[in-house]
């Protein structure tokens, strides 16, 4: 009787074991037949030291496969199908094997993109390798597990709080809570030291966090420092000792900021406007894209800035040589090319003046960027040029 009960248990577990087997050992070119699936299940239990294992019958396996292949029973959005000879031959694949397979959750390019993004994070090598292996396992497919990272060196000066900080920010953003933290600078030895007041006490920041985002190899958090009337951007790598202030709601909701990063005037907060803000907040929590109108779009706000700085973006008009067009699109999300004459491009972009000053200076030796407006930026470039000339003329 006990033996029958055990056999019944194994039969019930068959669907999970078949799912796991297909997850790890198949792809759209390489399937497993029903006899092969049964054989592999037996081999797995022998390797695990389970000599009393009773494999499901081929009939049971067929029934479980039919159940798993039903779109209504898809697990983790990974359909189970049979390898198509026609599709493989159409793609010129000759080494395909017939049978059942599970669609990969991530393809090879997607896996590599996620894995490579870890390399720019300030975390140690063990953590990078551990997270990379998890990405491969989640992806599934017969070629996922053997994949390993190429030889690499983690960033030397990393922040051990990084993953804790990312997790805390994510939780706070989801719940609409505040956070507080130390913000650090690097000292001469490459160690992070928290900012301090004049009396030597550590300075803490209390932030309404809105959105995190990678940009040019750095991870940023956009938010509002409580007590101020301005947006702020912090580099997540330099945040330490972050605490989520549970149940302390943000002082200024994201929806109260206008598209240009300024606060909506109090007179604008009519009952209708407040209702629209509540709708935006609800859709944000539900993950539903919303037409934000004149409300702040954090992604657009961050993309307008070639270097991350929380100042108002203004219209910049400039002339570029043709060889600068690639750099233009690498740094600006939505540049507007107004006119093209004799290899010169009249261009408009949106950016705060400080990042634009740095960007122009970055390409100053190319003699391929000329700012037309605003006059204030032209004046700052002229003064900077004069100052540099004086500094280096003395040598």
My answer on whether 6 and 84 are in the same domain is: yes
My answer on whether 180 and 191 are in the same domain is: yes
Do 324 and 368 contact (CB within 8 A), yes or no?
A: yes
Q: Which of 62, 77, 102 is the last residue before a domain boundary? A: 102
My answer on whether 13 and 69 are in the same domain is: yes
Q: What is the DSSP letter of 73?
A: G
My answer on whether 241 and 206 are in the same domain is: yes
Please state, in angstroms and rounded to a whole number, the distance separating the CA atoms of residues 38 and 161.
46
The β-bridge relationship of strands 177-186 and 192-194 is antiparallel
Q: In the β-sheet with 336-341, what is the strand arrangement from edge to edge?
A: 336-341, 344-351, 314-321, 369-373
What integer pLDDT is reported at residue 288 of this predicted model? Answer: 45
Residue 190: which residues within 8 A CB-CB, separation 6 or more?
156, 157
Structure tokens at 367: 């003699």
What integer pLDDT is reported at residue 38 of this predicted model? Answer: 92
- CATH number at 174 reads 2.30.30
Taking every pair of Cα atoms in the chain, the longest distance, rounded to a whole number of angstroms, is 98
What integer pLDDT is reported at residue 372 of this predicted model? Answer: 95
Please state, in angstroms and rounded to a whole number, the distance separating the CA atoms of residues 91 and 83.
13
Q: Which of 102, 126, 142 is the last residue before a domain boundary? A: 102
The structure tokens 């063990």 sit at: 126
Three-state SS letters, 262-299: CECCHHHCCHHHHHHHHHHHHHHHHCCCCCCCCECCHH
For residue 71, the enclosing domain spans: 2-102
Minimal CA–CA distance to 29: which of 97, 77, 113, 128?
97
116-133 residues labelled b (16+ CB within 10 A) or e (exposed): eebbebbbeeebbeebbb
Please state, in angstroms and rounded to a whole number, the distance separating the CA atoms of residues 46 and 64.
22
Judged by DSSP in three states, 371 sits in: strand
My answer on whether 112 and 188 are in the same domain is: no
What integer pLDDT is reported at residue 325 of this predicted model? Answer: 92
User: What averages of pLDDT result for each successive group of 10 residues across the chain (395 residues)?
Assistant: 42 76 84 92 88 87 86 74 82 83 75 69 69 71 52 64 88 94 91 92 95 85 92 92 94 90 69 54 49 74 85 91 91 90 92 92 89 95 92 75
My answer on whether 153 and 165 are in the same domain is: no
Tally of domains in the chain: 5
CA contacts within 13 A on the Cβ side of 197: 6
What integer pLDDT is reported at residue 366 of this predicted model? Answer: 82
My answer on whether 208 and 261 are in the same domain is: no
The β-bridge relationship of strands 344-351 and 314-321 is antiparallel
């Amino acid at each position: 009787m006990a033996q029958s009960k055990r056999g019944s248990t194994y039969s019930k577990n068959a669907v999970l074991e078949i799912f796991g087997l297909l997850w790890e050992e198949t792809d759209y070119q390489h399937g497993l037949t029903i006899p092969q699936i049964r054989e592999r299940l037996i081999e797995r239990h022998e390797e695990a030291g389970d000599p009393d294992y009773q494999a499901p019958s081929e009939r049971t396996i067929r029934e479980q496969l039919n159940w798993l292949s039903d779109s209504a029973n898809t697990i983790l959005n990974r359909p189970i199908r049979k390898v198509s000879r026609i599709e493989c031959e159409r793609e010129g694949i000759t080494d395909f094997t017939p049978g059942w397979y599970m669609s990969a959750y991530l393809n090879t390019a997607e896996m590599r993109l996620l894995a490579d993004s870890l390399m720019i994070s300030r975390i140690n090598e063990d953590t990078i390798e551990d997270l990379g292996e998890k990405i491969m396992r989640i992806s599934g497919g017969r070629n996922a597990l053997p994949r390993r990272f190429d030889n690499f060196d983690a960033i030397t000066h990393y922040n051990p709080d990084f993953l804790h900080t990312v997790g805390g920010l994510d939780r706070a953003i989801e719940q609409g809570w505040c956070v507080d933290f130390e913000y650090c600078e690097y000292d001469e030895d490459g160690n992070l030291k928290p900012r301090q007041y004049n009396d030597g006490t550590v300075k803490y920041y209390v932030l309404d966090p809105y959105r995190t985002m990678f940009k040019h190899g750095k991870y940023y958090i956009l938010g509002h420092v409580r007590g101020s009337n301005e947006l702020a951007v912090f580099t997540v790598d330099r945040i330490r000792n972050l605490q989520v202030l549970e149940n302390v709601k943000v002082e200024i909701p994201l929806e109260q900021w206008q598209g240009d990063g300024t606060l909506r005037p109090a007179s604008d907060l009519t009952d209708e406007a407040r209702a629209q803000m509540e709708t935006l907040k609800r859709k944000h929590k539900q993950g539903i894209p919303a037409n934000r109108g004149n409300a702040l779009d954090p992604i657009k706000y961050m993309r307008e800035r070639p270097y991350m700085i929380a100042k108002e973006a203004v219209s910049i008009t400039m002339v570029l040589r043709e060889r600068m067009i690639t750099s233009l699109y690498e740094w600006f999300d939505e540049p507007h090319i107004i006119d093209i004459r004799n290899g010169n491009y009249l261009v408009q972009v949106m950016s705060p003046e400080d990042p634009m000053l740095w960007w122009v200076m970055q390409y100053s030796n190319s003699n391929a960027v000329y700012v037309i407006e605003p006059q204030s930026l032209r004046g700052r470039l002229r003064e900077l040029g004069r100052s540099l000339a004086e500094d280096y003329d003395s040598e």
